[in-house]
Amino acid sequence: MYLYGEIAEGVRKSYFFYYPENGNSPVYCHDIPELFPVSQEEYDRLWYLSLDYLKELWLEFKKLERSQWTSLTLNFDSTGSFKIDYDYDDLSNANDHERMIVWEYNYLGLVPQNESDRRYLEHYLKSKKN
């Protein structure tokens, strides 16, 4: 499972993808109510709870006067192993959709199906090489 979380004053965002057992394609978290017998209300309740936990972690960093991260990626597997990557970029002028395209590529190896999104990713990757 790969979880992206973004926290700042007044901002809370999160989504995750997971690989089902015997599956090669990741499942997007917001598709869960359509794929499984989970009501939209229950899913929303649990999703907001996860946002609360991310905010608690962010506040703990702030309380301890640690460098304040703006986003994180949490990766964990069925064995209980996990890794957290913290990012400290200023996201105030960032485009959420473009950031998700890059994140999906970097962490999941996904290339967008949409032509304009694919062009954006190609441009982004070329700019990183230079």
What would the pLDDT profile of 41-72 be if each residue is shown by its tens digit?
A: 999 999 999 999 999 999 998 898 878 898 99
Best CATH choice for the domain 2-92 from the list 3.40.50.300, 3.30.500.20, 3.20.20.150, 3.30.70.20: 3.30.500.20
For residue 127, is pLDDT > 80?
Answer: yes
**Residue 70 Cα to chain centre, angstroms:** 12
* Measured distance CA(77)–CA(103) in Å, rounded: 18
Domain spans in the chain, listed from the N-terminal domain onward: 2-92, 95-130
Which two structure tokens, joined as six digits, stand for 44? Answer: 């929303």
Q: Higher model confidence: residue 94 or residue 19?
A: 19
pLDDT in tens, 78-112: 899 999 999 988 777 778 898 899 999 999 999 99
Q: What is the pLDDT of residue 37?
A: 95
Question: Which pTM value belongs to this model?
Answer: 0.86
Q: Kindly indicate the confidence band of residue 22, based on its pLDDT and cuts at 50, 70 and 90.
A: confident
Which two structure tokens, joined as six digits, stand for 21? Answer: 């057992």
For residue 5, is pLDDT > 80?
Answer: yes
Q: Kindly indicate the confidence band of residue 8, based on its pLDDT and cuts at 50, 70 and 90.
A: confident
* Measured distance CA(100)–CA(107) in Å, rounded: 10
Q: Higher model confidence: residue 8 or residue 59?
A: 59
